[in-house]
Chains A and B, each alone.
Chain A
C-alpha cells in the first residue's frame, strides 16, 4: 500500500511538471529543455528556507515559487524575441548553467553530495510525513496546478497562446505583444515547476543535483511529447506511462545495476518513435488552424 501511495506522490509531482511544461510546448509552441532547472531552483530554495531560515513549509514553498518566477523573468526578458532553435538552445544554456551551479556552488548547495535532513511539511499543526499524508498534499497541489493551467490555456488568453504558436508575425500585426505574453507564460510555468520542486524536497527529505539535470528535463519533455501536447489529458497520460513503465521493469527481472541504463534507453527510443510516428499531431505548426 505504501508503495502505491509513494507512486501517487511521484505521479502528482510529475503531473505538475508535465502540465506546466505543456503550456509552453503544447499551447505556445516553445520547446524548453530547462524545466528541471526551475524544478531544482524550487527544491533548493524551499530546502534552504526551511533549514537555514527556519521558515514553515508553506512560506518556503511560496518563496520558492517567487524566486523561480523572478529568475525566469530575468532570464527570459532578453530572450523573449528568440524563436525556434535559438530559443531551444537558450533553454539548454539555462539548464546547463543551473546544473553547474547546483553541483559547483558548494557553499550554498553542498555540491554533488546534496542536502539531507529536510523535515516533512507541517500545515496547520498536521505533519505530512510519509507517503499516505503527502499523497493528499501533492494530489491537491497537482489538481490546483492542472486547473490553473487549464484556465490559462482556455479562453481569449489561450487563443492568444495558440496564435503565437501558429504565427508570431500575425499576432504582432493584430496589435498584440507576443514577447510579453511569452515572458508571462514562461514565468508561470517556471513558478509551477518551482512549486513541484518544493514538494519534492519536502517529500524526499533530500535534494541533490542529479535530480535536476538535463536528463530530468528531457524526461519531463518526453512525458509531454509521448502523451500528446496541447491538452489536459495528454501530458497526464505521458506522466502515467513514463512513471509506471519503469516501475513495471522492476518486475521483469532486469538486474538492478543496469536498470537505470535500460530505462533511459527505453525513454530515448520512445521519444524517437513517438516523434517519428506522432510528431505531426504534437509539434508541427498549423494544428489549431486546421481544426
Chain B
C-alpha cells in the first residue's frame, strides 16, 4: 500500500513538473504547446550528450538539459511564434505550427541519435533508498524534491513578486497589460523559455529514471496536460491537485487494466474532464445567447 502511495507520489511529481511547464505557456500565450513534448526529448538528449563528454557530472547534465530546452524555446519563439504573432494568427495556427515543430524536433533527434533506447550515464549513479518497506531511487527522490521546490517557487513568484503580477496581468488581458506599461511580448518570451527549460530538466530526470528514446516526450506531455487541465493554469494549488488526481487515476487504472494501458487511461481522464467541463461551456454559450 505504501509502495502504491510512493508510486502515486512519483507520477504526481512528474505530472506536476510537466503541468507547470505546459501551463506557463498555455496560461500566458493561450495556445496548446505540442512542441513541449519535443523539448522534453531534446533536454534528455542534450543531457545524454553532456554525460557522454563528462560522465560523472550530473550537475552539468542538468545545466545541459535546461540550456538545450531553453535554446530550443528561444528558437521556436524567434522562428515560429513571433512570425505567427506578427501575422495575427489565431490559436489554431499556433497549435498547428507547434505540432509541426514537435514532428521536426523528434525526427531531428532520431536522425542524430537514432531510434534505439539509450541509458544515461547518470542512471548508474542512482541507487535505491528503502524506507518503511518503500523502495524509491535517488532519481525519483530528486523528481519529488524538484516538483515540491517548483510548486513552492511558482506559488511565491506568482503571489508575491512583480514578475508574477506581470504574468497574471498578461494572462488575464494582454492588451490591458500593455496599456499599463507591461511588456507583454517579454512576458511571452520569458514564459516560453522558462517552460522550455523546466521541460528540458524533466526530460533529463525521466530519462535518468527510465531510459532515453525519441518517443519519451509525448506520454509525459499528455500526463502534464491532463494535470494542467484538471487544475487551472495559473493556480499552483489546483495544478498540484490535478497532478494528484491524474496520478491516482493512472496508477489505479494500470493496476486494473495493465501498465500498457496507462497512456489510454490518462487520456480517458482528460476526456472525462473535458466532457464534465462541457456544462460550464454550455452555460457560457447560453449566457452569450441571452446577451445577444
- A: which residues have CB within 8 A of B? 31, 33, 78-79, 81-86, 88-90, 92-94, 96-97, 100-101, 103-104, 168-170, 172-173, 214-215, 218, 221-222, 225, 258, 261-262, 264-265, 267-272, 275-276, 279-280, 283-285
Contact = CB atoms under 8 A, between A and B. Distances in A.
Nearest to A284: B90
A275 B278 contact: no
A275 B100 contact: yes
B189 to A, nearest CB: 18
**At the interface, is chain A mostly helix, strand, loop or mixed?**
helix
Contacts of A270: 100
B95 interface: yes
Contact of B108 (A94, A215, A265, A280): A265
A84 B225 CA distance: 16
Contacts of B90: 279, 283-285
Given A172-B289, A173-B289, A272 B97 contact: yes
B95 A88 contact: yes
Closest A-B pairs by Cβ, 4 of them: A271-B100, A268-B103, A100-B264, A268-B104
With most chain B CB atoms within 10 A of its CB, the pick from A78, A104, A275 is: A275
A100 B261 contact: yes
A103 B31 CA distance: 30
A283 B111 contact: no
A261 B110 contact: yes
Contacts of A280: 87-89
26 contacts: A79-B274, A81-B281, A81-B282, A88-B95, A89-B32, A90-B271, A93-B267, A93-B271, A100-B264, A100-B267, A103-B260, A104-B258, A169-B285, A169-B288, A172-B285, A218-B103, A225-B96, A262-B111, A267-B103, A268-B101, A269-B104, A276-B93, A279-B84, A279-B93, A283-B90, A284-B90
Contact of B104 (A79, A83, A215, A272): A272
Nearest to A258: B111
Contacts of A275: 84, 89, 93, 96-97, 100
B55 interface: no
Interface string B79-95: 01001100111111101
Interface residues on B, range: 35 or more
A82 B229 contact: no
Contacts of B101: 268, 272
Interface in B270-292: 270-271, 274-275, 277-278, 281-282, 285, 288-289, 292
B263 interface: yes
A97 B268 contact: yes
Contacts of A267: 100, 103
A96 B267 contact: yes
Contact of B97 (A103, A215, A271, A284): A271
Nearest to B268: A97
B272 to A, nearest CB: 9
B198 interface: no
A252 B289 CA distance: 57
Nearest to A98: B264
Nearest to A269: B104
A100 B288 CA distance: 39
A275 B83 CA distance: 10
Contacts of B241: none
Given A100-B261, A265-B107, A275-B100, 6 more contacts: A85-B95, A103-B260, A222-B100, A262-B107, A279-B90, A284-B89
Interface in B109-149: 110-111
B263 A100 contact: yes
B224 to A, nearest CB: 13
Contact of A96 (B92, B103, B222, B258): B222
Contacts of B87: 276, 279-280
A70 to B, nearest CB: 18
A283 B103 contact: no
